Amino acid sequence: MSTSTQDYYGTLGIKKTAAPDEIKKAYRRLARKHHPDLNPGDKAAEKKFKEINEAYEILSDSKKKSEYDQFGKAAFEGGHGFEGFKTQDHGFGFSGADDIFSDLFSGFRQEHAPPRGTDLVTRLSISLEEAYNGVTKPITLTREVSCKACRGSGAESSRSCSQCKGSGSVKQNRGVFRLSQPCPACGGRGKVISKACKACRGSGSSVSTDTIKVKSPPGADTGSKVRLRGMGSGGVQGGPPGDLFIELSVKPHPEFKREGSSIYVDVPVTIIDATLGGKIKVPTLDGTVTMTLPPGTDSGKKFKLKGKGIPHRKSGTRGDQFAVIKIIVPKNISGKTKKALEEVGKAYGE
C-alpha cells in the first residue's frame, strides 16, 4: 500500500478525464518500464510498480473510480464504509497480468518457435519497354525447401517427448511468477524423432530447382524490388518459409534516356525543317507520334509530350517525354545544292 497522499491520476500520468483505453495504455507502458523481473534488485522500481498497479486497480474499475473521484483514497480506507484496497499477486496488485505478460514475454516464446526459412535475393534484368509497360518473366531458382515426405519435421516416425510429456511446454520460475515456456528438449513440438526421414536424412529440407514467374509492374526502375512471400528457403522443423526478393535492373536503351519518370529522345531534323517548321515524326515508347515543329527552331530546343513518360509505380500517373531537337548539318553536298545554300546564305545575311 502506498502513502495516503498518492494521486492515482498522477501516478499513471493521465488526466482525470482520461478514457478507459487511455488509462490502460498508460498503465501498460509504465508496468513494462518498472516490472520487477526487468529491474532485478531495484527497490525503487518495485515500489513504483506497486503504486502503478494500485492506481490501475482503482481507475480501471468504474465503480471504484467514481468512489475515488468523490472521496479520494479515504473511500478505500474504511472512512466511508467501503471495502479497503487489497493488493494481490505477492503485493504487486497485478490486475492486467494477462495482457502485460503477453507483451513482456512474447518475444521469449517466439525464440523457441520453429525457425523461419531465410529470405533469398536474386536479380532480374528488364528492358526499358518492359519497365514502361510492365512484364511477367520466368526465372529459374535453386533453393532449399521443406521436405515433402516429412513436411519439414525431419522424422519418419516420432514419439512423445519424455521431458514435457508431449505438452510441448515446461514451467519456469521468473522471479515471483511461474511461467510456461516451450520445452527445450523438443523445441515446443511435444515430440522427438525416433526414426529420421529417409528422403531428407532428418534435415527436414531438400534442394529444389523451380521456374517461377515474376511480375514486374509498370514503372519499375533499377533498384526496384518485387517480393514473393513464402518463396524463399523452407523453414526448419516445420517452420514457415522465407520470402524471395527480386531486384530489378533496367537495361540502357540505345535511343531513349530515362530520368526518373521522364523520357528524353533526340530528334534529328534538317536545316530546312528547323527553319521553315512543319510536321515531324517523334519516336516514343508507345510508338511513333507526329508533332508540329514551329519555324525557326534552334538545335537543343525541348518539346514536351505530356503523358508519354514512365508511369509512377504507386499512382500509375505517367510522366512526360521530352523531344530534344538536333539539327543535322549535311556533310557531302553536290555543287547544285551548295549553290542553293549560298543563295540562302546571302538572303539570310541581308
Cell of 48: 513504483
Q: Find out whether 144 and 233 touch, Cβ atoms under 8 Å.
A: yes
Q: Tell me, what's the pLDDT at 185? A: 77
Q: Tell me, what's the pLDDT at 274? A: 92
Q: Tell me, what's the pLDDT at 81? A: 41
| Greater pLDDT, 104 or 234 | 234
| Greater pLDDT, 343 or 89 | 343
Q: What is the mean pLDDT of residues 152-179?
A: 75
Residue 211 pLDDT class (50, 70, 90 cuts): very high
Residue 160 pLDDT class (50, 70, 90 cuts): confident
- Asked if the model's pLDDT at residue 307 lies above 80, the reply is yes
> Long-range pairs for 176-185 at CB < 8 Å and ≥24 separation?
176/36, 176/89, 176/90, 176/92, 177/37, 177/101, 179/101, 179/105, 181/108, 181/109, 181/112, 182/109, 182/112, 182/113, 184/112, 185/161
Q: Tell me, what's the pLDDT at 290? A: 96
Q: Tell me, what's the pLDDT at 219? A: 94
Domains by residue range for the chain, with CATH: 8-110 (1.10.287.110), 113-142+207-251 (2.60.260.20), 256-349 (2.60.260.20)
Q: 3-class secondary structure for the chain? A: CCCCCCCHHHHHCCCCCCCHHHHHHHHHHHHHHHCHHHCCCCHHHHHHHHHHHHHHHHHCCHHHHHHHHHHHHHHHCCCCCCCCCCCCCCCCCCCCHHHHHHHHHHHHHHCCCCCCCCCEEEEEEECHHHHHHCEEEEEEEEEEEECCCCCCCCEEEEEECCCCCCCCEEEEEECCEEEEEECCCCCCCCEEEEEECCCCCCCCEEEEEEEEEEEECCCCCCCCEEEECCCCCCCHHHCCCCCEEEEEEECCCCCEEEECCEEEEEEEEEHHHHHHCEEEEEEECCEEEEEEECCCCCCCCEEEECCCCCECCCCCCECCEEEEEEEECCCCCCHHHHHHHHHHHHHHHC
Percent of the chain with pLDDT over 70: 82
- Asked if the model's pLDDT at residue 280 lies above 90, the reply is yes
Q: What is the mean pLDDT of residues 165-174?
A: 74
Say how far apart CA 106 and CA 83 lie, in whole Å: 36
- Asked if the model's pLDDT at residue 300 lies above 90, the reply is yes
Q: Note the pLDDT tens digit of each residue in 66-94.
A: 888 887 777 676 544 444 444 444 344 44
Residue 215 pLDDT class (50, 70, 90 cuts): very high
- Asked if the model's pLDDT at residue 110 lies above 60, the reply is no
**Global confidence as pTM:** 0.56
- Asked if the model's pLDDT at residue 142 lies above 80, the reply is yes
| Greater pLDDT, 196 or 228 | 228
Cell of 128: 526499358
Q: Tell me, what's the pLDDT at 103? A: 52
- Asked if the model's pLDDT at residue 182 lies above 80, the reply is no
